[in-house]
Structure formats: structure tokens, C-alpha cells
Chains A and B, each alone.
Chain A
Amino acid sequence: MLEPQAVARAVLIDAVDRLRTAGRGLPAPPLVLDGWASAAALEYEVAAGRLAAGLLQVRAALDEAWAGLAAP
């Protein structure tokens, strides 16, 4: 009965892992030339940081969901 969910879980976890890999490849904020440009770079840095942390949260939640399924 749980088979379809297990498949879905595997697909989802795989997707998150791929997203995390993509997130790891993002460049570090480049050299700051002036405050005007660095404000935009900071926006990128903050958003990229939240993105990376969020992807970890998704992965943990999916692991937890899988654990819940495995031990009802």
C-alpha cells in the first residue's frame, strides 16, 4: 500500500538533492566595487544563503516523512 508513496518520496528526495547540488554551484558574491553595486550583491548573498538553508530543511523534512512511513 505504501509502495506509491515510497516511489514518490524517492523522486522528491532525488529532486531536492539535485537542487542542493545546483545551489552549491552558485558563485560566491563577487568583488565589491562600491556600495551601490554591493547592495545588490548583498541581496543575492542573503537570498542564496536562505535558499541553501531552506533546501537542507526540505531534505530533513522529507527524511522525517520517510522515517514516519517506515515506522508507523
Chain B
Amino acid sequence: MSAPGLTVSGGGSAAVDTPAMQIAAVRLDDLAQQLGTLAAGLEACLADAAWRDAAQHRASEALQRAADVVRILRPEADDAAHGLRTAAERYGSAEQTIAGAQQAAWAQGAAAVGAVTRLGVTLAGPGFLVLTASATGALLGAAAAGTVARELLTTGRIDPQVDPAVLADLRLALSSSDDLIRGFELTERPADLVDDDPGSPHGTAATADALAGVLPAPRTPIAVSPSVLPGAVQGPGSLAGLGSRTPEVDPGGTQLRLEQYPMPGGGSRWIVYVCGTITFSPESGPEPFDLRSDVTGVAGQRSDSELALASAMRAAGVRPDDPVLLVGHSQGALDAVRLAQRGEFDVQGVVTLGGPTGQLELRGDVPELSVEHEEDPVPSLAGLPAAGAGGLHRLVVRRSLYGGGAPPGPPILPFGAGAQPHALTAYRETLALADESPDPRLVAFVDGIRPFLAARDGRIVLVRADRRVSPRRRR
């Protein structure tokens, strides 16, 4: 079975533990195989001359009966496995339908608010906007009070930033923002209610683009400083190995780690690890892994941190036809997916840890594993995950750190859990649990990236990237 709290799914949601059903089906397959072995053993016994002895008649008859039952049981095990798989698939479809209805309801509500606001502004003038804003504020206030009361009653804590129910609403709200604007413009069509294209004129990418316009643009080149570590490195061997080599956030330190493994036929295989956001300062200083890169990355522009990643790869010697596995945490996850989308390198796998990447689709031939904690707010910032074929091929490992209960820590301190569910250390633990999962999709993913995990005798290149900011702009 999967580790407690760990679920594996396609890009959609998974309220019913369908992965556990799939795993049980695999166990039933195993049971059917064992029954086959048992049947063969019984047949061998019955063929033994000693069992045909008249004195053993009763025993022989009983053995024959056992063999007959085993023969019947084998298809029963197959039927049970088939039933379980079909039920899991149908539950998955039902969940998708429910999620679609929920999305449509939110979108409809947002579009209606937008349309009513437009009507009010037309009839009563711009002052109606104040009325709408006040009403929205009152509703949000009531919802926040309800959330606080619910959290206090159920967990004794106030930690909305790690409350899965709050984060689920955040996903829906973000995904409905384009409907609100279209409602105001009176351009919302029925298809828009379920169509959540981040690249549409009012999608999350456009919103992030507008936000990026507010932040100061650095317009400075990125300088990368690679340094090769002495000695050889062996492949990470496992998902946990990938997590342990992903750089921690270290202001002024290394943001990228590249591992180069020579291939027998020439060329090299590369594993590239990317760290998360280092500074949330709105100033665009020398650090490219900053807030501006977060926003521009969501907007779909080439962020400075993505530029740093691509520059570091070129500086280290990655050639366009070298196989590459990208591993990123948080902003690094966003950069990894964006770079893989651009197709400049031969990316043969992407592993993301707590990234806002749910809406980004990769080509079907690039396997993607996304690890998300239910209490981590960052993946929710992507809104609802893409539900098309491109989104569903994304393999998602979800884990609840607190199992619906209270986070550890002082019981009365509001926001006491901080952003712990987003921490790289927590994701490393989850990767170790994922290594233990027998889920066939996860096993297949790991098998697919095995040439990277099992690579031998490589070298490590650590890279520090900086914006070349003029001293005048430095603080």
C-alpha cells in the first residue's frame, strides 16, 4: 500500500483513494498468479502414484476437490481485480465531473458578479463599484470569520495558509478571476465556464503579466559563475536522492547544481537541480531568483531565474541533444517546466516539488512528476490544474502533512505553521515515501528516468547566477 497520506494521481483531483484501489488490484493479480502456482502443485501431487493408491482414496478425493476449487478461484481473482480497476476508473471520472461542476459554479458566480457590477455601474454610475467592493469585502470577511471559527473548533489552531479547504477555495477563486472580468465585459460564453486557459486574455498568465508590469524591470544581463567540484559523483539512485541534491535557498550561494554523466556513445546525460525563490523583495536586485521572476514565470515570460537556468546549462556544456532531467523546488519547479516547454534542450523528464505548475502542460513525451503537499499554498497559486490530455499526463504525488489535523507547534499562535509545508526538507521526506510506493504509475516513471538515476562517474558543476546590477542600484 502507499505510505500514509500519500496519493498518486493524474493531473486531476483524487478525493476517493483510487490509487489504493489500483494497488489492491495489483495485489489481486499477484494472488491469481499464486493460485496458478498452487494449482500446478496440486496437479503434481495428484499425478504421484502414491495418491492413486486405493488406501489413499479419501485423501486423493479431497485433494482433487481442492484442485477443482483452486481452478475456479483463479478467474475469481481476475474478476475482482477487473472490478476494482473499473470502479477506480469510474470513480476518477465521477470526481472529474464533480470538480468540473464546482469550477463551473464558481465561474458562473464570478461572471454574474461581474455582469451585475457592470449593470450597476451603467445605471448608478462608478459609485456602484464602491458598493460592490464593500459587499465583496463583507462576504470575504464573513467567510474568513467562518474559517477561523471552523479551524479553532476542529484543530484548535488558526492557520488558514495551510488549511487544505481554504487552499481549495483559493484555487477555485483564482481560476474564476477571468470569468469575473469577462462577466463585467459581458463577453462570458457558456464554454468559458469550464474552459480555464491561463493563456487567455484574462487568464492567470495575463493577470501575472499585469502584476509584473508594476514591479521594477531590471533589464540587466545575467552572469553565471560555474565551478566544478573535484572528484566523481554517482547517480542519485532514487527520488529521495534527487531531493537531497536540490539546492537549499541560500542567499548569495549556489542556486543551481548540474551533474554531467558521460554516455558510452558520446555526449553526456545531465541532471539539473534548481532552487526556489531566494528573495521576495519587490526590488530587482542582483538576485535573479526573486519575486519578479516568480511573477514573470507565471506570466509565461522568460524570467531571469529561467534565463539563469538556461545560461548555466550552456556554460556548463549542456548541448541541445544531450538528455536532461530537470528537478526544481518552488520557483525552480516553475523554471524547469517553462524551460522544458520551450524545447531548447532535450528534456527527458521533469520532477517538480511544490511548484505553481498545475496549469502548465508539457509535451506528452516528457514525463513529469509533480509532488505537492495538500497544505502547501504555492501549488494552489496556479489555480485549478489543467484537465486536458496534457495536464492529465502529469503524474501528481500528493501528501497531507497533517492528515486534516492541526500542524505541530504552539497551539494558540495564529499562523504558527508558517510555510513549513512548502519547505524543501518536507518535500525530501515525501520523495522518500514515494520511493516506497508500489503504485505502477510511479514505478513506471522511476523506470523511465532510471538511466539518470543509475548514471555513473559524473562530475558536479555548481552555478551561482547574478544580475549585473550597476552599483548605483544596489542597496
Contacts and interface: CB of A to CB of B under 8 A. Distances in A.
Interface of A: 1-2, 4-5, 8-9, 11-12, 15-16, 18-19, 22-23, 25-27, 29-31, 33-34, 36-38, 40-48, 50-51, 54-55, 57-58, 61-62, 64-69, 72
B45 A5 contact: yes
Contacts of B30: 22
B31 A22 contact: yes
User: Of B42, B48, B70, B80, which is in contact with the most chain A CB atoms at under 10 Å from its CB?
Assistant: B80
Given A18-B34, A23-B31, A68-B60, 15 more contacts: A22-B34, A30-B21, A37-B87, A40-B83, A43-B79, A43-B80, A44-B80, A47-B79, A51-B73, A62-B66, A65-B66, A66-B59, A67-B59, A68-B56, A68-B62
B87 A44 contact: yes
A46 B87 CA distance: 13
B41 A44 contact: no
User: Of B44, B65, B83, which is in contact with the most chain A CB atoms at under 10 Å from its CB?
Assistant: B83
B17 interface: yes
Interface residues of B, number: 49
26 contacts: A5-B48, A12-B42, A12-B45, A15-B34, A15-B37, A16-B38, A23-B31, A30-B17, A30-B87, A40-B84, A40-B86, A40-B87, A43-B83, A45-B83, A47-B80, A50-B76, A51-B31, A51-B76, A58-B69, A61-B62, A65-B62, A66-B59, A68-B58, A68-B59, A68-B61, A69-B56
Interface string B51-85: 10001111111110110011011001101101110
Nearest to A33: B94
Contacts of B402: none
Contacts of B87: 29-30, 37-38, 40-41, 43-44
Interface string B124-160: 0000000000000000000000000000000000000
Which 5 pairs from chain A and chain B are nearest by CB?
A68-B59, A44-B83, A43-B83, A47-B80, A61-B66
A47 B72 CA distance: 11
B24 A26 contact: yes
A31 B48 contact: no
Given A5-B51, A27-B20, A44-B84, A15 B69 contact: no
B62 A27 contact: no
A41 to B, nearest CB: 4
Interface of B: 16-17, 20-21, 24, 27-28, 30-31, 34-35, 37-38, 41-42, 44-45, 48, 50-51, 55-63, 65-66, 69-70, 72-73, 76-77, 79-80, 82-84, 86-87, 90-91, 93-95
A38 to B, nearest CB: 8
A58 B73 contact: yes
Nearest to B20: A27
A30 B69 CA distance: 28
A37 B15 CA distance: 15
A61 B72 CA distance: 14
A62 B198 CA distance: 64
A65 B94 CA distance: 49
A65 B59 contact: yes
B90 A37 contact: yes
Contact of B65 (A12, A30, A61, A66): A61
Contacts of B34: 15, 18-19, 22
A19 B172 CA distance: 46
B76 A65 contact: no
A57 B239 CA distance: 44
Contacts of A5: 45, 48, 50-51
A51 B82 CA distance: 14
A25 B24 CA distance: 9
B48 A4 contact: yes
B21 A54 contact: no
B27 A26 contact: yes
A20 to B, nearest CB: 10
